[in-house]
Structure 1
């Protein structure tokens, strides 16, 4: 347990760690890297950037922002924020992001690096009620911006959006203040950092002279009271809890109802993301 806590380094993620200087330095450096790769070394076109910028910079106080996107490469974050006009190097405005513990938190050096970069470790396959999901909820409670990749892992094929993991839906439902849910679809980062480049491995550095397209959607409308009422109607009065989930307070939804609720919300998000993908095909043709 101690070793695991050492690797996850919650203390390094705090804004007050060493007066915030290491975080500011890290995000400035990584943000500058993203700007160079996305805006200078490659050609990037963004649709509806103003909607993302507005919600990042000037949403109402205390209202969290939850962005969701497809996952095309290991460098989607931070590169997706490197387009012209985005405040990539502003540590205060920078997103929090769920990051795979087995990749980003392998050792103390990586853990410290990613913690300074406002990453929250998530154990893939650890379920939606794992410990660090509470940390993500705390950031939403603080009115912060959180980004997730609800597909759960990298998919580089040009294919329909896959069935989403339920973690993002659970965060939306359990957040003390319902976040603005903003969908993003992008193409091109799979060419900048292909999974199978040389002998089945990624290239040592991002590739250049690629075309990147980023499609920002509009906030997804989710009528949570109605969705929870519908989910409650699916509730099973049974004492057994196959997944061991707690009752969803204060809504009182049991395990069966939660599964229905998270599945419904996830499918709604997936449908919107797929519509952005379809729009992107037209957008790509006209912008190439």
Structure 2
């Protein structure tokens, strides 16, 4: 869907409201992973000079210790982020990071493993405190149409920071004592640079400055999740987001062994797999803005879920087709038969992972209680940590049952399909938005005129000309929020459209002479929806046009406004007449070929009409003027 005056999401990086925050977050992710990876590599390849504990134990213990603070402190971190101004909190977190890295530097220089382990826990606390700030900050400083792009850039930056940190940590740790010294002083320098960036973050007022912080983190964690559960769509989106972390943790944790035992590669092959996956996540996160039309488009979430399953399944078959058994580095593995298919699957897993996770983040930010954003994100971090721990348990279970790594990829992809179907059956809005998104990105190209006139909050009635069977889907795809459509009850009996509109909680209506009870019930349902602050859309003509010209508007709109004093927003669809979905009497095949694939449509939105000024005749003239000569 096209938009005028569209500036690149990367232009946000040049603006103070976004740039300093982005670099503060980026440097934190980079430092976390440089430190952790360097420690794991040192303990894997030079364990004896540090400890007598087995390397395998430490390789599982250290990531677990990093995640532990998410479970313990996320609820408290969410409270702090809602109570304290976010720029000030970011600076405190960066000062904490400097202290942690100073302790780590002493540990590096004195070969004291337990100081380094303490620093791992400290960096877990650092990330736990910053997590709620990260996603609560964006809605305060970005416009609604910038939120998906901003989230995409943040996600891209996070994964690039993780990737660069892991690569740099692995390289430095492989250079013996000199590398260890570079890690010690390098992580400290990055922490100082992060603090310098945080000083430029603009003021972000606390949404709940009077909040009393609970010392009982267990009770607060339960309370947090219980509060989020009240908003069903938000809570299920949180679960969907946590599922992605389960999926990602299970797949990524197999990469080192997969690179070594299946691809017969050295450490550089593992870095290659990680790089490809991270680039995929970054690309998918950035593409979300373009594919979503710069709004929160949750229709991309089912699209992402489909890709995660399809390419996870194909990764299993691609792995079976890899036949090399000779040791190779990353250059050698690229020359092997079957490698490009494996890398393509990993890249596309990342891309579709971006499609899955970015709209979920944006939906959670925009649909949860504004005074509870940080605590909602904190609740999500608790769920993420629990799901990641569960993924480790599932991995151990599958390995214990003799599953190979490709079989684990296959199992995870099939599990993803089951979970996705379950979530989308509980929140049909995801599926409905996906079908709407699919329609306007395959058959049609839709442009919008003044779509920002559709209110982001509060009740309103939308009225529009009725040209085709897919009018509602086109309008839904353009709207920044869900819409309750009033539809002819007979449409509910058609197989596909009936399913779409039932899942979208459309309101069936019948003519008074045909079913007076259903007609009256429709008006009651409309009044209830408006009372609850929802958008309702009706087609006042009451029937599809058979000529391309608009039919007279009936009096139902006046009855609705008399009962519910809300603004009415006129809209006009342009370009649908003559499409395969319209009642154009000419030959359907001829007109389909004449229009061609990806034919142009437009939705024009007029200025709101106050309830006391609403008449069917006046609205008819408004919609006709918006439509113009383009039918």
Fold similarity call, TM over 0.5: yes
Match of 1:104 among 492, 507, 516: 492
Number of equivalent positions: 204
TM superposition shift of 1:213: 2.3
Distance 1:199 1:95, change over 3 A: closer
Bigger drift between 215-224 and 182-191 goes to: 215-224
Change (3 A) 1:169 1:31: same
Q: How does 1:56-67 map to 2 (within 5 A)?
A: 57=456, 59=457, 63-67=458-462
How well do the aligned residues superpose, as a CA RMSD in angstroms?
3.4
CA 1:135–1:70: 2 relative to 1, 3 Å: same
Q: Does 1:73 align with 2:73?
A: no
User: What is the aligned partner in structure 2 of residue 261 from structure 1?
Assistant: none
1:23 to 2:23 alignment: no
Match of 2:626 in 1: 276
Higher relative contact order (CA 8 A, sep 6+): 1
Query: How far apart are the structure 2 equivalents of 1:207 and 1:147?
Result: 29
Residue number among 506, 519, 543 corresponding to 1:153 in the alignment = 543
Structure 1, residues 223-270: CA drift from partner, whole Å, max 9, x if none?
Answer: 26xxxxxxxxxxxxxxxxxxxxxxxxxxxxxxxxxxxxxxx7212211
In the alignment, the residues of structure 2 paired with residue 104 and residue 270 of structure 1 have an alpha-carbon distance, to the nearest angstrom, of: 26
Q: Superposition pairs for residues 1-288 of structure 1, below 5 Å?
A: 21-37=426-442, 41-52=443-454, 55=455, 57=456, 59=457, 63-83=458-478, 86-87=479-480, 93-105=481-493, 113-125=500-512, 126=515, 130-159=520-549, 161-175=550-564, 178-192=565-579, 193-195=581-583, 196=585, 198=587, 208-223=597-612, 265-277=615-627, 280-281=628-629
Structure 1 position 207, deviation (Å): 6.7
Q: CA deviation at 1:110?
A: 6.8
Separation in 2, partners of 1:212, 1:169: 29
- Cα distance in structure 1, aligned partners of 2:523 and 2:611: 21
| Contact 1:191-1:210 at 8 Å conserved across structures | no
- Mapped partners of 1:164, 1:98: distance in 2: 15
Give the 3 Å change call, closer, same or farther, for CA 207–23 of structure 1 in structure 2. farther
- Partner of 2:477, secondary structure, is coil
Give the distance between the partners of 1:213 and 1:112, measured in 2 at CA: 25
| TM-score, reference length from structure 1 | 0.60
Deviations 1:174-215 (A, max 9, x none): 12xx22210001121123323235479x98xx9733221222
**Are 2:491 and 2:498, in contact at CA under 8 Å, matched by a contact in 1?**
no
Segments of 5+ residues of structure 2 without an aligned counterpart are: 1-231, 234-421
Q: Is the 8 A contact 2:553 2:620 kept in 1?
A: yes
Higher strand proportion (structure 1 or 2): 1
For the pair shown, the structure with the greater C-alpha radius of gyration is 2
Contact 1:105 1:114 in 2 (8 A): no
Distance 1:158 1:113 in 2: 25
User: Is the CA contact (8 Å cut-off) linking 1:34 and 1:81 kept in structure 2?
Assistant: no
Q: Which runs of 5+ in 1 are unaligned?
A: 1-14, 88-92, 225-263
